[in-house]
């Protein structure tokens, strides 16, 4: 196949995306595919229009806004270019933490208590007043996250009013809507799903040297320990895998996802989010969990590529093509 690997983009996760794209491109070449590397920029619509007749599929290695949020997926559907992973709706839902948590609650998937805070509310009522209102409901510590960012970009833990005000200001640099969540003290674990009929990978535990798995810990060698399979009871591991499949299905995800959880001190799981295009770098979690399941990185890439079989038909729907 001739595959366009879309990477880079303009989000805060650009550098991570470039690394993911380069790793995927290398694996695809090893597997015998012809690869066209595409660094996504403002001219992406023109670039893909030029490529549409000469490529068989697009492999998406984009992270964050304008890549993982349904925008690129919509462009590729308009151009009738088969692409890997989730479609427009699933991508947009998963990227939107506030909306995805509403879906999870409707499906009885446990999530942390939270409050959404918009830029307009802060402007109208004042930063200090909003911080007081939120902390009165959720208490401290709490986590503040931009609504539509990944890789913990713009996310901070707040232990008091002053830190909460700073965290709100920081999150609003990235998004006009943010979530403040009750902080779950405990262990962070994640579950990957790969393939059209998804293979649910072993539970992986993340032990960050700083106590919080932030951007620096995620992408700096040696700052995080990864334990797979996670040292948890079999019953809990099976429940996490079931919840992951439920979250993946609830958002209508396809092909690839990673579902992140916190386990509180009593071992109760809380779903944090679903990542529809998780990292594929040497430090990323999907390759590590896949290796524990006996799947090489090359096999994972091939399984994801196999999901790029949906093609837009002339009536505007989707059909599977051979």
Q: What CA–CA distance (Å, rounded) separates 198 from 201? A: 9
Which of 69, 188, 254, 273 is labelled catalytic?
Answer: 273
Annotated active-site residue 151? The verdict is: yes
Residue-wise over 15-44: b if at least 16 C-beta within 10 A, else e? Answer: ebbbbbbbbbbebbeeeebebbbbebeeeb
Which of 13, 68, 77, 181 is labelled catalytic?
Answer: 13
pLDDT confidence bin for 278, thresholds 50/70/90: very high
pLDDT confidence bin for 270, thresholds 50/70/90: very high
Which of 100, 147, 244, 275 is labelled catalytic?
Answer: 275
Which of 174, 213, 219, 270 is labelled catalytic?
Answer: 219
Token reading at 65 = 């806004």
Which of 151, 244, 257, 284 is labelled catalytic?
Answer: 151
Query: Are the C-beta atoms of 161 and 132 separated by less than 8 Å?
Result: yes
Q: What CA–CA distance (Å, rounded) separates 310 from 320? A: 5
Annotated active-site residue 160? The verdict is: no
182: left (phi over 0), alpha (psi -120 to 50) or beta: beta
Which of 192, 260, 270, 284 is labelled catalytic?
Answer: 260
Annotated active-site residue 174? The verdict is: no
| Cα 196 off chain centre by | 18
* Residue with the larger pLDDT of the pair 209 and 138: 138
The arithmetic mean of pLDDT across residues 97-111, rounded, is: 97
Q: What CA–CA distance (Å, rounded) separates 247 from 236? A: 16
- The pTM for the full model equals 0.90
Annotated active-site residue 20? The verdict is: no
pLDDT tens-digit readout, 62-88 = 998 889 999 999 999 999 999 999 999
| Four-CA torsion 205, 206, 212, 218, nearest 10 degrees | -150
Q: At what angle do helices 44-51 and 71-78 cross, to 10 degrees?
A: 40
Which of 150, 187, 258, 284 is labelled catalytic?
Answer: 258
Annotated active-site residue 114? The verdict is: no
Nearest to 322 by CA among 100, 27, 82, 134: 82
Which of 8, 20, 279, 284 is labelled catalytic?
Answer: 279
What pLDDT does residue 150 have?
Answer: 63
Annotated active-site residue 43? The verdict is: no
Average pLDDT of the residues of the chain:
91
DSSP, collapsed to helix, strand or coil, labels residue 225 as: strand
* pLDDT > 60? residue 111: yes
Give the DSSP letter string of 76-97: HHHTT--BSS--HHHHHHHH-H
Q: Which domains does the chain have, with CATH numbers?
A: 2-84 (3.40.50.20), 93-110+185-305 (3.30.470.20), 114-182 (3.30.1490.20)
What pLDDT does residue 290 have?
Answer: 98
Token reading at 53 = 């007749």
What pLDDT does residue 215 have?
Answer: 55
Q: Which residues pair with 60 in a beta bridge?
A: 6
Query: Are the C-beta atoms of 12 and 283 separated by less than 8 Å?
Result: no
* pLDDT > 50? residue 91: yes
What pLDDT does residue 132 have?
Answer: 98
What pLDDT does residue 218 have?
Answer: 53
Annotated active-site residue 260? The verdict is: yes
Q: Among the listed ranges 73-87, 213-227, 250-264, which one has the minimum average pLDDT value?
A: 213-227
Annotated active-site residue 273? The verdict is: yes
pLDDT tens-digit readout, 311-322 = 433 334 443 433
């Amino acid at each position: 196949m001739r595959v366009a690997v879309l990477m880079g983009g303009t989000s805060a996760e650009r550098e991570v995306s470039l690394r993911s794209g380069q790793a995927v491109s290398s694996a695809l070449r090893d597997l015998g595919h012809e690869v066209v590397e595409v660094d996504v920029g403002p001219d992406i619509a023109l670039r893909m229009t030029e490529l549409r007749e000469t490529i068989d599929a697009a492999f998406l290695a984009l992270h964050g806004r304008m890549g993982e949020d349904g925008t690129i997926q919509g462009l590729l559907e308009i151009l009738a270019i088969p692409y890997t992973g989730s479609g427009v709706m699933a991508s947009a839902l998963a990227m939107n933490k506030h909306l995805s948590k509403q879906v999870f609650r409707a499906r009885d998937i446990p999530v942390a208590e939270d409050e959404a805070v918009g830029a307009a509310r802060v402007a109208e009522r004042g930063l200090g007043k909003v911080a007081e209102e939120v902390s009165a409901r959720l208490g401290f510590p709490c986590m503040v996250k931009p609504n539509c960012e990944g890789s913990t970009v713009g996310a901070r833990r707040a232990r008091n009013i002053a830190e909460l005000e700073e965290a709100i200001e920081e999150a609003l640099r990235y998004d006009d809507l943010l979530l403040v969540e009750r902080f779950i003290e405990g262990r962070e674990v994640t579950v990957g799903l790969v393939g059209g009929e998804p293979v649910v990978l072993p539970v992986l535990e993340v032990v960050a040297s700083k106590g919080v798995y932030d951007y620096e810990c995620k992408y700096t060698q040696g700052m995080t320990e990864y334990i797979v399979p996670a040292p948890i009871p079999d019953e809990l591991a099976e429940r996490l895998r079931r919840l992951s499949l439920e979250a993946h299905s609830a958002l209508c995800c396809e092909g690839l996802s990673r579902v992140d959880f916190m386990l509180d001190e009593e071992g109760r799981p809380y779903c944090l989010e679903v990542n529809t295009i998780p990292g594929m770098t040497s430090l990323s979690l999907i390759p590590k969990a896949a290796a524990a399941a006996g799947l090489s990185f090359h096999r994972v890439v091939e399984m994801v590529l196999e999901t790029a079989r949906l093609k837009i038909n002339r009536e505007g729907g989707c059909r599977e093509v051979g």
